[in-house]
Structure 1
Amino acid sequence: MRLIHPGRLAARFLTLLCLLAPVAPALAQDDLDGLLPVTEAYKLTADASAPGVVKLHWTIAPDYYLYRGRMKFKAADGVSLGEAQLPDGEKHHDEYLGDVETYHHGVDATLPYTVAAGTTELKLSVQYQGCHEVDPKICYPPHTEQLTLPLPATAAKAGAGDLGAALGKLGSNRGGGDGAALPAEQAFHLEAIAKDRQHLLLRWTMAKGYYLYRDQTTLKLKDTGGLSLARPEWPAGVEHEDAHFGKTTVFFDQVEVPVAIEGDTAGRNAVNLDASFQGCQDGGICYPLMTRALSIELSGAAPTSGAVAEPAPEMPPANLAQGPLEVSLLTALLLALGGGLVLNLMPCVLPVLSIKAVGMLESGESPAKARSHALFYTAGVLSSFALIGIAIVALRSAGHALGWGAQLQQPVVVGVLACVMFAVGLSMSGMVQFGTSLGNVGSSLASRSGHAGDFFTGVLAVAVASPCTAPFMGSALAYAFAAPMINALLVFLMLGIGLALPFLAVGFVPALARLLPRPGAWMETLKQILAFPMYLTAAWLVWVLAHQRGADAVGLVLVAAVLLAATLWWFERSRSRGAVSRVFVVVLAALTLVPLFYLSKVQAPAQAVVATDGVVAYSPEKLAELRKAGTPVFVDMTADWCVTCKANEHAVLDTEAFRELLKKTGAVYMKGDWTDVNPTIAAFLQQYHSPGVPLYVVFPKDGGEGRKLPTVLTSSLVEDALTKAAGNPVATTP
């Protein structure tokens, strides 16, 4: 048996304690000869001179190293941190932590941030941990440094507002860097004319204090018919040192860009141009990738003469939109109606529909009650869809990258929704009754059903439907996000009509109503059975919260659920008691809100990037590198709260057949996680005109355009797309 020296054994034991203890006393340096104090072993400096980003640097002493996965960053109130950008470390197997990455000599980290309006200084806590790698081999406990950094003069002006602030910005004409950020359409105005049938002239007009990136601009013709665009003839711009893109060229105020059309334009009256570009408020926010669709008339342009005509003194505004209006309003409405109907079959909505089904059964003996159920349920659905539509259109107009289901990126929304589903489950289990007596089953049940309950069920159905994207919905929502506000609201309302249509049909078509079973005592058992899908939905939402904010958030929402159960229990008991007992119900309800309030303060846990076998984390740089190398790429934009995403993963993407297909085609599987707010992924979604996740894009090895796949995948569809992307022949029937 191998003997271990007692001193070495003690050092190992102390190392293990330091690594595993979340809070440990500082090492007594006097007892460990030769070891540096932690702040000398790892000298941390910070630079916040560039707006929106903090640069951190550790100088690491010889014979010391830092763990990449043990770095954590937390900001004080008024500051929101993005994901820290850290270089890859040296990989090795740690005796206590398993596979890790470490840094020697020094390391730089970039930490993006946003600040609320009025914030004047940046307060951060930075936690890190490292070890001494020669005798005595000791690991320090996790060490936290508190940093207070002055903000650049303009950085504090770019705080993100809430919905009310965003609505207030609509129609605002204030410019530039001395106020709140403008909506994208006001900050960056794009026009285009045909100088002649072979030459276009594009003009960007930026509001005062805003600038446009030259190298982040892409121009492309749609429905080309053999036409293409030559390289744009950019004028000289302003050299700019950018925190994200390094040294680059930008334009302030206005820029005119000639671009030639290559190919024969004879017989064409117009060309359709997609322009994608990006810009920033000077010293303020940077906008996600913006896309405008322009239809440029050629019929009135002068014939090609070989000379470049002078630009017209007054350029008429082109027909532009934020996204691709590739379908008409009528088509979008029909797609929305179909998508809403199919949404009734999606797993995210089924638990709530069980409540509505019981309500319809309760009204089986009264046609009037059946119609009332259907109408108030529909009112709840339409009101909720209208509110979501207004919020999304307003926030996107204010420059926020918001998509379908994005409200579930907010941990407080997830926590509240989990508590609501838990409360509904308790009600269906018979613990508490909200205005309906289940003791009198039969005809009296129908007469006691409340309109408020029907309306609330409609609201809840829309709330839980947001993680799902049904077939037909993607195109309809893409149209809504690009269309004028009135058209967008019509699309959202048509989605609601589709969702409510089955219950409207039962309520207003007597022949369908007669197919329903007659009410009876069996309905009490059915309602109690249907409570369990509600509990499962609450459990799923807590799982989503765990991925977003870790164990602390889960603990808070569980405490809230316990307090909510106590509130409902005492609410039932207080029915036969005095006013003092009812006051205690209010007190318990207020206590329930406390952990939900603190849920908004929980920061996402800093974690080491763990490489999943066969999956590459999405980044624009990595995608560009793979495409340049001629590698076909399957990009999967997903989120933990996206039920459709998870269904596709279970059925297609997490299968051995898909992994074999990747090997066969030489394709790389790249995944982006939109569970939390992520501007990089939001820009990719906007680039492909996707209203949200899931988004699947297959890039061919020859560098051609990416192919966007439907939101609901099948194995054959994915196999066909990857086979074509790899350039392999596809079998066809002669």
Structure 2
Amino acid sequence: MRLIHPGRLAARFLSLLCLLWLALPALAQDDLDGLLPVTEAYKLSADASTPGVVKLHWTIAPDYYLYRGRMKFKAADGATLGEAQLPDGEKHHDEYLGDVETYHHGVDATVPYTVAAGTTELKLSVQYQGCHEVDPKICYPPHTEQLTLPVPAGAGAAAGGDAMGAALGKLGASKSGDSAALPAEQAFHLEALAKDRQHLLLRWTMPKGYYLYRDQTALKLKDANGLSLAKPEWPAGVEHQDAHFGKTTVYFDQIDVPVAIEGDTAALKTVNLEASFQGCQDGGLCYPLMTRALTIDLGAATPTSGVEAQPAPEMPPAGLATGALQVSLLSALLLALGGGLVLNLMPCVLPVLSIKAVGLLESGESHGKARSHALFYTAGVLSTFALIGIAIVALRSAGHALGWGAQLQQPLVVGVLACVMVAVGLSMSGVVQFGTSLGNVGSGLASRSGHAGDFFTGVLAVAVASPCTAPFMGSALAYAFAAPMINALLVFLMLGIGLALPFLAIGFIPALARLLPRPGAWMETLKQVLAFPMYLTAVWLIWVLAHQRGADAVGLVLVAVVLMSATLWWFERSRSRGAFSRVAVVVLLALTVVPLFYLSKVQAPTQVAQTADGVVAYSPEKLAELRKAGTPVFVDMTADWCVTCKANEHAVLDTDAFRELLKKTGAVYMKGDWTDVNPTIAAFLQQYHSPGVPLYVVFPKDGGEGRMLPTVLTSSLVEDALTKAAGTPVAANP
């Protein structure tokens, strides 16, 4: 059988359509009586009032649709078009064209362009094709419209009439074009200082809605007499899919970049730095390559900007740029061990530890069983911590920002964890039996299942521990997030050893094991009672999900929980039944996955900055405004899934005493919500080398450096920090 190439098949199909179109008046005039002319079926309008961007809109009549893949754009001589930005269409399989995307009712497109300076008109050719979908289905041949659009004054300036300008036109793919672009000096403010004679610190500051490309930045020294610059120490940025550069890394708001000078600078008073860089307005135009020349005084840490003199924001002290590495590896390991131990007392871990407690009680006076429980539980804990460490190091190397507990920013992870908690609770309630049981059904099966159950309990303990940041953990995690791979993995493994240490001690020290109560019938009641903390943990996770994705997501997870419960119920009943019952279990399990799949598609509801009860929503611009006005600020970075954050709020921050303290000191309480992914808050966490939330920073009224507070707050500690911020200057954090 001879196969026809898909491209040739499509060409034949289009030729056939054209022939049919010519023959239709004679063959089926009745079918065409109600067919609209192509320009009425698809009414095209165009707007070129935004410099560098043409906005197109099609109004599509009912029962008609357009093919996404059949749209083509071409400019007349003297103009260059970038890549057109089109929304995703409705996907389906066409009988002749295969897999296609189509638009109904209407569609918007934006096409970036560059023209020579002084050009007043843009001539554009737009081709499109569509069909009438009601029987009989009739398709139009490709239709082309010629547009002549007035070009706004100055639209050709960015292109510069050269090849770079044409390339920038491709970069300027606009999604909205709603606001005019700022001058380059205002959109990308660069300043630099010398931290010491061998180390420079550069800071780019961008207004909201602008970003800088990491890989389009080049730095060099001019007239340097043999000196050169080492590779810049770029922090983790935001992954961005760019129309011209593909997948790349960009930075929003503000970025600090340390860079070392290679060579002897003893004889120099200043160095001349040349910085070339490029950036864009988010959803707007991109700027041509910018070059700034800066003269930096090596004897004083005075910022210089390479443009007109103006007040500059404070640069962080030299110690802050490498503060995470000032903790030695030995200190980090000791802190990690202590933090892991304290995690056993945190409320987020206690529900899972109840499972482990039942396992140890079931082992009775058998030292061998106790050691087995402890070892396999520890293996699960260490394996999971090792995987987390490897993932963090890998993602950090790829330029991603990642924090402790950040997996709970993903609604699908939260939903799956909620289902797991309910499943474990049902097991403890006796609805279904996983692994060993109090009835000791089959010693060989119990032994294998018991090991797997112990290992899984260790995995689950780490999963639910991530919303908690125990004392001692902050410095250890900050070290791990910035340290080389081997050191980072050692820190994560030490956290795991700390978490597993109590059970290891019970398993390997008989005197401790003998302190456990003897097994008996009372254990079945205890096991069922301990199921309820698991259900409450599931309720808490669903509450977190409600804040992330709203009521639709909660409904989907509740459906998944019901289906999963039905699956487990029937699984237990099917043990003594035939193959048909086992097939029903598989079908129910597959149905459980369906609502979880749709959960991953639910979009976050529109967030509105909340300022109730005197709380100001965090933004870099608002923080800068308050600091410029001489107002002390208490910044609280939190998340709904962060148990430590909620404990601090209940004990300290949501109290009348704290509100009175704010009034007395004249301080502003500013809050950032990291429940969902937020690059702006991630950048703030990174600036202070915080591995996650909570992060508390108090900024003094005199404009000095912010003071980081411990992750666990007390009223006296907060009062001391705010009193100093409102009075005497606060020393920079070491």
TMscore range, shorter length: 0.5 to 0.7
* Distance in 2 between residues matched to 1:454 and 1:305, nearest whole Å: 64
Q: Tell me how far apart the structure 1 counterparts of residues 260 and 270 of structure 2 sit (CA, whole Å).
A: 24
Q: Per the alignment, in what secondary structure is the counterpart of residue 672 of structure 2? A: strand
Change over 3 Å in CA distance of 1:430–1:241 after alignment to 2: closer
Question: Is the partner of 2:358 in helix, strand or coil?
Answer: helix
Aligned to 1:711: 711
Shift of 1:576: 0.3
Q: Please identify, of 609-618 and 593-602, the stretch whose mean Cα deviation from structure 2 is larger.
A: 609-618
d(CA) in 1 for partners of 2:265, 2:191: 27
Amino acid in the other structure paired with 1:149: A
Change beyond 3 A, Cα 1:719–1:590: same
User: Identity rate of aligned residues, in percent?
Assistant: 75
Shift of 1:148: 3.7
Match in the other structure for 2:583? 583
TM-score under structure 1 normalisation? 0.63
- Residues 504-538 of structure 1: per-residue CA shift (max 9 Å, x gap): 01011111111111111111000000000000000
* Counterpart AA for 2:328: S
- Structure 1 unmatched runs, 5+: 1-42, 58-117, 126-143, 154-176, 179-212, 222-226, 260-272, 312-318
> Which residue identity does 1:339 align to in structure 2?
G
1:447 deviates by 6.3
Match of 1:131 in 2: none
Give the match's secondary structure for 1:324.
helix
> Which residue of structure 1 lines up, in the alignment, with residue 209 of structure 2?
244
Name the aligned partner's letter for residue 254 of structure 1: L
Counterpart CA distance in 2 for 1:50 and 1:566 is: 58
Counterpart-to-counterpart distance in 1, 2:685 and 2:499: 25
What letter matches 1:664 in structure 2?
A: K
Distance 2:474 2:686 in 1: 13
Instruction: Give the superposition deviation at 1:395.
Output: 1.2
One-letter amino acid of the structure 2 residue matched with residue 376 of structure 1: F
Aligned mates of 1:342, 1:445 — CA distance in 2: 35
Question: What is the one-letter code of the residue matched to 1:287?
Answer: Y
CA distance in 1, matches of 2:460, 2:52: 44
Aligned-pair CA distance for 1:711: 0.5
- Which of 201, 208, 221 pairs up with 1:256? 221
Instruction: Give me the whole-angstrom Cα distance separating, in 1, the residues matched to 2:488 and 2:329.
Output: 9
Task: Find out whether 1:592 has 2:592 as its counterpart.
Answer: yes
CA spacing shift, 1:448–1:718, aligned 2, 3 Å: same
Residue 286 (structure 1) aligns with: 250
Hey, what does 1:30 align to over in structure 2? none
User: Following superposition of structure 1 onto structure 2, how do residues 475-514 of structure 1 map, counting pairs within 5 Å?
Assistant: 475-514=475-514
Determine the C-alpha separation between the residues in 2 that align with 1:361 and 1:345: 19
Q: Name the counterpart of 1:388.
A: 388
Question: How far did 1:274 drift?
Answer: 9.3
Q: Which residue of 2 aligns with 1:695?
A: 695
1:466 aligns with 2:466: yes
Kept in 2: contact 1:633–1:669 (CA 8 A):
yes
Q: Distance between the aligned counterparts of 1:45 and 1:701, measured in 2?
A: 48
Structure 2 residues not aligned, in runs of 5+: 1-44, 58-82, 91-103, 114-166, 169-186, 225-231, 275-318
SS at match of 2:324: coil
Query: Secondary structure of the residue that 1:613 maps to in structure 2?
Result: helix
Counterpart for residue 185 of structure 1: none
Conservation of the 8 A alpha-carbon contact between 1:291 and 1:322: no
1:396 Cα deviation from its structure 2 partner: 1.8
- Kept in 2, the 8 Å contact 1:380–1:455? The answer is yes
Distance 1:402 1:46, change over 3 A: farther
Write out per-residue CA displacement over residues 264-298 of structure 1, whole angstroms, 9 at most, x where no aligned residue.
Answer: xxxxxxxxx9997989887554136666667879x
Return the offset for 1:611: 2.5
Whether the aligned pair in 2 keeps the contact of 1:232 and 1:257 (CA below 8 Å) is: no
* Structure-1 separation of matches of 2:55 and 2:474: 39
1: CA distance between counterparts of 2:660 and 2:320? Answer: 44
Cα distance in 1 for partners of 2:48, 2:541 equals 37
8 A contact 1:292–1:322 mirrored in 2? no
Do the aligned partners of 1:294 and 1:320 also contact (CA within 8 Å) in 2? no
Q: How far apart are residue 672 of structure 1 and its match?
A: 0.4
Q: Aligned residue for 1:215?
A: 189
Task: State the shift of 1:436 in Å.
Answer: 2.5
Q: Are the aligned partners of 1:437 and 1:445 in contact in 2 as well (CA < 8 Å)?
A: no
Change (3 A) 1:340 1:244: same
> What corresponds to 1:416 in structure 2?
416
Distance in 2 of aligned mates of 1:459 and 1:249: 37
- The 2-side partners of 1:44 and 1:639 are apart by 44
Deviation at 1:650, TM superposition (A): 0.3
Relative to structure 1, the CA distance from residue 217 to residue 471 in structure 2 (aligned partners, 3 Å threshold; closer, same or farther) is farther
Measure, in 2, the Cα distance between the counterparts of 1:657 and 1:46: 57
1:255 Cα offset (Å): 3.3
Q: Distance in 1 between matches of 2:55 and 2:697?
A: 33
Answer whether contact 2:213 2:250 (CA < 8 A) is retained.
no
Change (3 A) 1:723 1:49: same
Cα distance in 1 between the residues matched to 2:518 and 2:637: 46
Task: Supply the RMSD in Å over aligned alpha carbons.
Answer: 4.6
Q: Is the 8 Å Cα contact of residues 365 and 443 (structure 1) preserved in structure 2?
A: no
CA-CA distance at 1:365 after TM superposition? 1.8
Is residue 121 of structure 1 aligned with residue 86 of structure 2? yes
**Counterpart in the other structure of 1:355:** 355
Q: Report if aligned partners of 1:550, 1:605 keep a CA contact under 8 Å in 2.
A: yes
- Aligned partners of 2:394, 2:414: CA distance in 1, in Å? 22
For the residues of structure 2 that align with 1:56 and 1:613, how far apart are their CA atoms? 45
Find the aligned partners of 1:596 and 1:47 in 2 and give their Cα distance: 44
Taking structure 2 as the reference length, the TM-score comes to 0.63
Q: For the residues of structure 2 that align with 1:382 and 1:55, how far apart are their CA atoms? A: 55
Q: 1:149 pairs with 109, 125, 129, which one? A: 109
The residue correspondences of 1:89-100 to structure 2 (distance < 5 A) are: none
- In structure 2, distance between residues paired with 1:630 and 1:409: 35
Residue 601 of structure 2: aligned partner: 601
Classify 1:338/1:48 alpha carbon distance in 2 versus 1 (closer, same or farther; 3 Å).
farther
Kept in 1, the 8 Å contact 2:55–2:109? The answer is no
SS at match of 1:426: helix
